[in-house]
Structure 1
Amino acid sequence: MLIFALFQVQLPPLFNIPKSHLQCYGESVYAVGEDLLHKCNSAEKSQERFISVVAWSISLTRPTIFGCAPYNPILGETHHVSKGSLNVLLEQVSHHPPVSALHATDEKENIEMIWCHNPVPKFYGIKVEAEVHGRKQLKLLNHGETYAMNSPSLLIKFLPPGLDWVGNVKIHCQETSLEAELCYSTNSFLGHRGAHSIKGRIYQSSSMKTLMSIVTVKDTNNGKERVIYNAKEVISGLKTPAVKDPQGVLPSESAAVWSAVSEGIQSKTGRKQGK
């Protein structure tokens, strides 16, 4: 997903995937198999809406592939997708440091999203940890609620090779005083358990009383459990959207900026598969 594009490293085309870093960000919002945004907005109780927002937040961290790099966006590059009533627009607003901005609206659900991401890599010998600075905001305008959250870090390990999301994420809704603390963890160097695991809790900030444990939420009052996020249902079998009318695309769009490079990668891949 992010990987080497975060670090301004020049890689041969063999390691590129035919999409821009901006598109990878955008796909986490519009390329879904289950409408989690609708769940966020449709629940009657504030606690149920908050649980749905937590699930949606987790869905934004997509699986990563070691050694595969999207294109590093150029300054002013844009990526826009409309899917039903959802409109998503991203722009690379800074190149040094790399900063990506996102604004999205869903007219039917009356939802607005505002993001600003600035990955900052830190090198630790056999691993690199990219801290993603910036905030995400999800606004449920029908309910007058704004949910603010940060992002986990992307950990790149060279020995043994692998990638994973790590670190702490905090989600807060000022209007309801509900908060969540999530901890993303991975395997240790010796292979101890914990790969791709997320643990945490939902609590009332005014009383600090824990209401739920995550990701399979457990009601602390009655002990009942239920799954709030199933990655296979949400993101499996998804296809990258295709541009139907290249003539109608702005020159700054990712599809236009990288069209020649993408065609070269895809044609070379096709020849290899045909052998």
Structure 2
Amino acid sequence: MGSPEKSQSKGFFAAMSSGLSMFSNAMHRSVNGLLGYEGVEVINPEGGKEDAEEEAQRGRWKQEERDSYWKMMHKYIGSDVTSMVTLPVIIFEPMTMLQKMAELMEYCHLLDQADECEDPYMRLVYAASWAISVYYAYQRTWKPFNPILGETYEMVNHEGITFIAEQVSHHPPMSAGHAENDHFTYDVTSKLKTKFLGNSLDVYPVGRTHVTLKKDGVVLDLVPPPTKVNNLIFGRTWVDSPGEMIMTNLTTGDKVVLYFQPCGWFGAGRYEVDGYVYNAAEEPKILMTGKWNESMSYQPCDLEGEPLPGTEMKEVWHVADVPENDKYQYTYFAHKINSFDTAPKKLLASDSRLRPDRYALEKGDMSKAGAEKSSLEERQRAERRTREANGHQFTPRWFDLTEEVTSTPWGDLEIYQFNGKYSEHRAAVESSGSIDETNVESTEFNPWQYGNLSAE
């Protein structure tokens, strides 16, 4: 079966369902159709024996291990497996979900540019490109560790931002994050919903992301597309995120709607992103096009979505250089996230970098990583039993549960908000003048509410 023919005037916008019906003709035109069709990667969406053997040679896991795991996972088909399944450490990467949340900050200079920009539509071009930039990192097929309840991740020394994330709920698994610099604040409540389909996994981002640009005080709301992990057990695992990404300026009503093309046979359409920036009257102002693993570009357009005469396509974002043959397909920024170079003074003992299972996996000790992971999970269960016996409720340190419940395309979401206590804590540390010089890497991981509780 070959790749679909791509017309000069029509492309994949026909699949877009943005609700902006008055411009349906423009939405059915593929921007990439004007630019040509290049860089197609040959992929077998169904996988195969050769793919599995190649992945085993790369050190992922052996085919007999996949067969055994398939027998165990078969009963979960159709279920949300977010926190109900214990997974083997061999499929993990040495990073937690809290750290993965911080990866969105790699190209945060785009938000600085959005804040400085006077043009309201270009502001959305910069901000949307920032939101797309993380997908290059999200194509990694290794699974990050689920955070322990109360676990945190701190990051400084990057573009002037301070970043803090905390695991605020275990059932259901939920995280909250806050980042801030001179130009913007970033607030997210993250909750994933999954559906296990046998050899694939659908991941729905039941979360809310708000970015506030400080200069004009505008608030941007982001709704990302769902993600599908293909060939989860058999074949070469790969990730796709087909669907719409919508970023709305809640202050003005302007929005950008970008469509992530699904991967077709032989890689047709993979990575491609096309869409428009609209004003509050739903009139297209700027077209955007690119590939989420390479770059994004923009060009002013008319009411039909056609490029304005005398204008040209300009690149707004390009993926940074990456290490060659990296075991976990990490970017340089991912390695930076895992290092203590981005850790602040007096790192919280609950920080993800200090997890013994994550650290052992980073050092290549698979056996120790598995044992430490099991120990942490049992400790978490023991603390939950103690908390329930005492009639206590877990209370996050740095975020507060609000009374707000917001609707998302994949379900309702309880909202956590940054309470400002972390800023006070960090300011107190910086002004204390007496920084402990103890090797932070030797600090014992401690996210626990009951400090002396041992695993039962």
**TM-score relative to the length of structure 1:** 0.83
1:231 aligns with 2:301: no
Asked if the contact 1:79–1:90 (Cα under 8 Å) also holds between the matched residues in 2, the reply is: yes
Asked if the contact 1:18–1:262 (Cα under 8 Å) also holds between the matched residues in 2, the reply is: yes
Q: SS at the partner of 2:126?
A: helix
Structure of higher CA gyration radius: 2
**1:266 alignment partner AA:** E
1:75-104 Cα distance to aligned partner (Å, 9 max, x none): 111111122531111111111211111111
Cα distance in 2 for partners of 1:126, 1:264 equals: 28
Asked if the contact 2:285–2:300 (Cα under 8 Å) also holds between the matched residues in 1, the reply is: yes
Larger helix percent: 2
1:203 aligns with 2:203: no
Asked if the contact 1:115–1:134 (Cα under 8 Å) also holds between the matched residues in 2, the reply is: yes
Which residue pairs with 2:169 in the alignment?
A: 94
Aligned partner of 2:113 among 39, 46, 52: 39
Please report how far the alpha carbon of residue 182 of structure 1 lies from its aligned counterpart in structure 2 after TM superposition.
1.2
1:22 aligns with 2:98: yes
**Runs of 4+ in structure 1 over 3 Å off:** 4-9, 123-126, 232-237, 244-247
Which residue pairs with 2:362 in the alignment?
A: 266
**2:278 alignment partner AA:** Y
Please report how far the alpha carbon of residue 129 of structure 1 lies from its aligned counterpart in structure 2 after TM superposition.
1.1
Which residue pairs with 2:352 in the alignment?
A: 254
Which residue pairs with 2:287 in the alignment?
A: 213
Asked if the contact 2:243–2:262 (Cα under 8 Å) also holds between the matched residues in 1, the reply is: no
Which residue pairs with 2:336 in the alignment?
A: 240
**1:251 alignment partner AA:** A
**2:299 alignment partner AA:** K
In structure 2, the CA distance between the partners of 1:233 and 1:177, relative to structure 1 (3 Å rule), is farther
Please report how far the alpha carbon of residue 162 of structure 1 lies from its aligned counterpart in structure 2 after TM superposition.
1.3
Structure 2: give runs of 5+ residues left out of the alignment: 1-79, 290-296, 302-307, 323-329, 367-456
Which residue pairs with 1:51 in the alignment?
A: 125
Cα distance in 2 for partners of 1:80, 1:122 equals: 30
**1:26 alignment partner AA:** A
Asked if the contact 1:5–1:69 (Cα under 8 Å) also holds between the matched residues in 2, the reply is: no
Cα distance in 2 for partners of 1:115, 1:152 equals: 16
RMSD of aligned C-alpha atoms? 2.7
Asked if the contact 1:80–1:88 (Cα under 8 Å) also holds between the matched residues in 2, the reply is: yes
**1:115 alignment partner AA:** V
1:169 aligns with 2:250: no
In structure 2, the CA distance between the partners of 1:114 and 1:266, relative to structure 1 (3 Å rule), is closer
Cα distance in 1 for partners of 2:161, 2:81 equals: 27
Asked if the contact 2:203–2:228 (Cα under 8 Å) also holds between the matched residues in 1, the reply is: yes
Cα distance in 1 for partners of 2:283, 2:316 equals: 20
Larger strand percent: 1
Asked if the contact 2:275–2:288 (Cα under 8 Å) also holds between the matched residues in 1, the reply is: yes
Please report how far the alpha carbon of residue 249 of structure 1 lies from its aligned counterpart in structure 2 after TM superposition.
2.4
Cα distance in 2 for partners of 1:217, 1:266 equals: 39
**1:104 alignment partner AA:** A
In structure 2, the CA distance between the partners of 1:171 and 1:263, relative to structure 1 (3 Å rule), is closer
Cα distance in 2 for partners of 1:98, 1:205 equals: 36
Cα distance in 2 for partners of 1:56, 1:202 equals: 14
Deviates more, 1:242-251 or 1:97-106: 242-251
Please report how far the alpha carbon of residue 224 of structure 1 lies from its aligned counterpart in structure 2 after TM superposition.
2.1
Asked if the contact 2:240–2:263 (Cα under 8 Å) also holds between the matched residues in 1, the reply is: no
Structure 1: give runs of 5+ residues left out of the alignment: 271-275
Please report how far the alpha carbon of residue 71 of structure 1 lies from its aligned counterpart in structure 2 after TM superposition.
0.8
Cα distance in 2 for partners of 1:28, 1:146 equals: 17
Aligned partner of 1:137 among 205, 210, 213: 210
Q: SS at the partner of 1:10?
A: coil
Cα distance in 2 for partners of 1:247, 1:147 equals: 32
Asked if the contact 2:83–2:172 (Cα under 8 Å) also holds between the matched residues in 1, the reply is: no
Please report how far the alpha carbon of residue 138 of structure 1 lies from its aligned counterpart in structure 2 after TM superposition.
0.7
Aligned partner of 1:104 among 179, 185, 200: 179
Cα distance in 2 for partners of 1:247, 1:201 equals: 43
Q: SS at the partner of 1:227?
A: strand
In structure 2, the CA distance between the partners of 1:85 and 1:246, relative to structure 1 (3 Å rule), is closer
Cα distance in 1 for partners of 2:187, 2:227 equals: 21
Cα distance in 1 for partners of 2:353, 2:279 equals: 44
Count how many residue pairs are aligned between Structure 1 and Structure 2.
Answer: 258
Asked if the contact 1:139–1:145 (Cα under 8 Å) also holds between the matched residues in 2, the reply is: yes
**1:43 alignment partner AA:** C
1:134-186 Cα distance to aligned partner (Å, 9 max, x none): 21111012112111111221211116631122221111113333111111223
In structure 2, the CA distance between the partners of 1:47 and 1:86, relative to structure 1 (3 Å rule), is same
